[in-house]
Structure 1
Amino acid sequence: QEDLLLQGDAYALENGILRLTKTDASGTVPQKNSVGRVLYSAPVHLWDSSRLATFETTIRFAITHTNNNPADGIAFFLAPQDTTIPSGSQGGDLGIFPTSGSQDHVVAVEFDVYVNGQWDPSYRHIGIDIESRDSKKTTEWESVSGQVVTARINYDANLKRLSVSATASPQGRRVNQETYTVTYDNVNLKTLLPEYVRVGISGATGQEVAIHDIRSWYFFSYLVNIAKKEKEDMYIAQYV
């Protein structure tokens, strides 16, 4: 895990799982108002004067509830290289957005398990966020707390399309799986983000809580239309 940067409350468990938010000493009771993030240590080359990167990432995670109202969720994000946790970004801002709810040069995919009535839709959702916690596109998901979720996020530079597919598996088994998808077009990352970015995963609790664990993470990118692909690939942990 030397290729990773941990921010805030994030820490590694002995079994290789990354826990993003605080628990008590027993590891079973999540704590309020906690934010943690993990970032890939090397910047990712996203674009240059004539090219734009295509990327894909796969995240395997679990959000485990301890009551009937888990919060708040996990998000994959791209941000400037010097990104830090914004002040007051616990809860529904998911460790990405300040209390104003907007932040230039941030693109994220959120896996939100708590409905914040001020800005969220009226359901738990997967959302695509462009410089704001107000998701541009969402799809409803329910009853995923405690399940192992495999999320695949793809950005197609030619189509300028950001797409998400997430499959929830009860207890990690390949039975009774549910798959949720959301796609957003006309996403020009060249106008939204700097040439080099940091990629990361964030999790947060607020007044309501849950345990946010990353089981594994894979990221790969390349600049399109070049003979030699420039890539960034990584594994956080083996599947467990």
Structure 2
Amino acid sequence: MRKISKLDPIPLHYQLKTILLEMIENEELKPGDMIPAERELCDIQGVSRMTINKAIMSLVNEGVLYREQGKGTFVAKPKEKQEIYKLKSFTEEMREKGLATETKIISFEIKEATKKNRNILKIPKEFNKVIEIRRLRMTEKDPVAIETVWIPEHLFKGMTEEMIDGKSLYSIFEQKFNYKPKRAKQTIEPVALSEFESKLLDQKENALALMFKRITYVENDIPIEYTNTINRSDKYEYEILLT
């Protein structure tokens, strides 16, 4: 292990963080390996336990390391890459990665459209309902995202909870209602998980997550879906192709 330099202007905890990252990138430490204990790192580097803990916690918060109570700190598996330059459903994305998926419906409700939803979905004045669907998305039995979808009720007459249970919404759009998504606008922002969200996602309250907001369009630029998805930030990293 490379040694920290106390003459370097870079903070000691940041130097140690860099050293540990280099060891992981060089496969000196591999996924599942336990890193040296804090006391051992103190002896090796000649710094305080507080400095060691600060470096380790920074890597834990980034999902590079994880801790197991009473056992130690371990190297995490690399995050799966999510491509966000192609319009795909969650089910399609995970299937391409060879991951088993499961979706649990939290709620399904036909309700009055809010002013925001009316504007986003361009709902005509003579209609005032949306179908709101809230689902928990899972891969390999792990909860990874909470998805809330609003779709114009007048475009999806007859949609039921049973119709979408266990299925991709995009496939239902196309097969049952003859709407094929053509393009989407998406924004991403960091958020802190609420108590309710953290329980669903098996995370600590106020843990960092990523919120994806997407508006999906069919031909003639008609919006058919507005989605708000809260994704765990420790499971995936997101890849954007710029051309």
Q: TM-score, normalising length from structure 1?
A: 0.25
The structure whose Rg is larger is 2
TM-score by length of 2: 0.25
Q: Which has the higher contact order (CA 8 A, sep 6+)?
A: 1
